[in-house]
Amino acid sequence: MKRVVVALLLALASVAASAEEFTAVQVDKSSIAFVSRQMGVPVNGRFGKFSAQIRFDPAKPETGSVVVDIAVASIDAGSAEANDAVAGKDWFDAAAFPGARFATTAIRPLGGNRYEALGKLTIKGRTRDVAAPFTFASRGSVGNAEGTLVIKRADFGIGQGVWADFDTVANEVEIKFRLQAEASAAHK
C-alpha cells in the first residue's frame, strides 16, 4: 500500500511539473549574444540590456508567447571603439532606433523538448518574419529556453555604406539566446 501511495505521489508530481507555466524571466541569468563574421573570422558579441516577457507551458506550447526588447546601444562587440561604431548610424543607428523587438505569433512543438517560436523581429524600424528553434528544459520551478537563429543583416539595413559589402562583414548573423524563467506562483 505504501508503494502505491508513493507511486501516485510521484505520478502527480510529474504531472504538476509538466503543467507549469513559466513567466518570471530572470534577466540576470539570461543572455542574448551573436556571432558575425568579419573577413571570414567569427566575431562574438552580446547585448547587455534587454527585457523579456514569457508565458510558456511545455505541456501546452501553442498557448505560449514571448516578447523580447533589446536596447541596441547596450551592444558589446569587443571594444569601446567597436561598440560606438555598431551603435552608430551605419549599423544599428541607436539614436534613431534605440530598440529591437522579437514578438511571437506562434509556438510550435517539434518533438521532445524542441520547439519553434515563430514571430516578428523588428530592427531599425524594419520587421521581418523569423523562426527561432529552441529547446526547453526545466528543473523544479526554473526553466531554460535556449536557441539560435540566423538573420540577414541586409534585411534590416544593418551595415550601410562601406559596410554593406558582404566580403568584409558577412550578411548572415547568428543570434544565440538563453532565457531563464521561473514558474508563476499560481503554477508552482
Q: What is the pLDDT of residue 88?
A: 94
Domain boundaries, the chain: 2-187
The CATH code that applies to domain 2-187 is: 2.40.128.110
Report the distance separating Cα 6 and Cα 18, nearest Å.
18
Taking the alpha carbons at both ends of the chain, their separation in whole angstroms is 28
Look at residue 20 in the predicted model and tell me its pLDDT: 85
Residue 97 confidence (pLDDT): 98
Quick one: cell of 183?
A: 514558474
> pLDDT means per 10 residues in the chain (188 residues)?
42 48 94 94 96 95 96 95 94 97 97 96 98 95 96 96 91 97 71
Asked if residues 51 and 69 have their Cβ atoms less than 8 Å apart, the reply is yes
**Residue 19 has what pLDDT?**
58
What is residue 185's predicted lDDT score, i.e. its pLDDT? 60
Beta-bridge mates of residue 159: none
Is the Cβ–Cβ distance between 43 and 78 less than 8 Å?
yes
Task: Identify the pLDDT of residue 13.
Answer: 43
Report the pLDDT value the prediction gives residue 122, as an integer from 0 to 100. 98
